[in-house]
Amino acid sequence: MTELETVPDVRPEPPKALRWVVLVLISLAMFGNYYVYDSISPLADVLKAQLGYSDANIGLLNAIYSFPNIVMVLIGGIIIDRIGTRQATFLFGVLCFVGATLTAVSGSLPMMAMGRLVFGLGAESLIVAVTTAIAKWFKGKELSFAFGVNLTIARLGSFAALNAPSWAAPAYQSWRWPLLISVGFATFCITGALAYWMLEKRADDLYDLGEAKTEKVVWGDLFKFGTSYWLVVALCITFYSAIFPFQTFAVKFFMEAHGTTREEGGFLSSLLTLFAMICTPLFGLMVDKVGKRALFMMFGSLMLVPVYLVMAYTSVPLIVPMAVMGIAFSLIPAVMWPAVAYLVDQPKLGTAYGLMTMIQNIGLFGFNLLIGWANDHWHASTANPAGYTPGMWMFSTLGIAGLLFSWMLRVRETGPHAHGLETITTSTPTG
């Protein structure tokens, strides 16, 4: 009797070209996501003039986006680990489209806030799903560069939204038309997710896409990811709380405190995005080659500290602090998000990214409300541009906190408990 031996199913890794096609397709969903999020900022003065919204109301529209994600994005990460990135990406893309549509339905604050809430339910979890998918396809390869390319495509959405007052100027005669344009771009959240689903489903049959199984989520394990992971999370919350709530009011701030037009203000705000689009992939490529991830996060945090006070107290051309902020906005995300893939095992990566994004959203929720309240409390306006100064101090303080956390991460990752953030490069053998 002949004993049959089981031959392992040995399949090749996917071709390099296929990895990059997948990256571009899944990034289209992020493009639509980012456009919808940033559609509020250049519309702020129109909402104030036509619908009587205060700065606190405008802050609420972005804060309520973050509110459900204080819980939902962690659940979203767990969903990703359980049902896979393909189904999860499509599910969250549909929620983005529904939320964008609801936002444009009515000018009443409750309805518009409801739309932003539904959009937020899908948007942050969509980002987690896309991030997890990229880590799946690129870990051990050009991971940081891939994240950089993904962010560049996504930020094209932000760039388009912030410059909409220029290329879609007639639409800003009414508050509704810019929001309807955002609904059109929200369709990318669905079409990009569907294209990714079909391509990866086919690739699953032909190639080895890495570990496919997931582990049962043990809630207590969420707090056992390690000190380095939590320092990255701390940097995440301080960094993004200093960036996105600033952008919520940036166009209005430029118009009222520095006398720009809406078109100029939108372009200045988009400079942050433009620099990031160009520099993020380059920084990712550099970090893949040289390592030193914690050190680069320190540099990025340091650059963020002075820019808000320069805008508050000096007449330095706004392009200068916005360019510096744009470089920081390129460097830290290019290093921070892929770093998590080296700190957490792949079967729990979706949960780790979900937890990180959940805590990030606590900061975004709180600081959008806080800055809106501060602007109203100190009567920030064209007649009183100094009313914006307390908010600028709050943002600068967040930069100092980020510098502290990144320094602590550097100390940790150059000691006996290092995970390789400072040493792993594309030339490092993977096991």
Per-residue pLDDT tens, the chain, 431 aa: give them.
444 444 455 667 777 788 888 889 999 999 999 999 999 888 888 898 899 888 889 888 888 888 877 777 667 777 877 887 888 889 999 999 999 999 999 889 999 999 999 998 888 889 888 888 888 777 667 777 888 788 889 989 999 998 999 999 999 999 999 999 999 999 999 999 999 888 888 877 776 665 534 444 455 666 678 889 999 999 999 999 999 999 889 988 999 999 999 889 989 998 888 887 888 888 888 888 888 888 999 999 999 999 999 999 999 999 999 999 999 988 998 888 888 888 887 777 777 887 887 888 889 889 989 999 999 999 888 999 999 999 999 999 999 999 999 999 999 888 887 777 878 776 654 44
Contact 420, 342 (CB under 8 A): yes
Cα(230)–Cα(360) distance, integer angstroms: 12
Burial 388-423 (b: 16+ CB within 10 A, else e): bbbbbebbbebbebbbbbbbbbbebbeeeeebebbe
Q: Give Cβ neighbours of residue 288 (< 8 Å, ≥ 6 apart).
A: 142, 143, 144, 145, 425, 426
> How much is the pTM?
0.74
Burial 264-286 (b: 16+ CB within 10 A, else e): bbbbbbbbbbbbbbebbbebbbb
- The CATH superfamily of 16-204+226-413 is MFS general substrate transporter like domains (1.20.1250.20)
Angle between helices 143-162 and 176-206 (to 10 degrees): 160
Angle between helices 143-162 and 109-138 (to 10 degrees): 160
Contact 120, 99 (CB under 8 A): yes
Burial of 309 (C-beta count, 10 Å sphere; 0-12/13-18/19+)? middle
The SS3 assignment for 82 reads: helix
Cα(85)–Cα(165) distance, integer angstroms: 35
Ranges of each domain in the chain = 16-204+226-413
Angle between helices 55-66 and 227-258 (to 10 degrees): 160
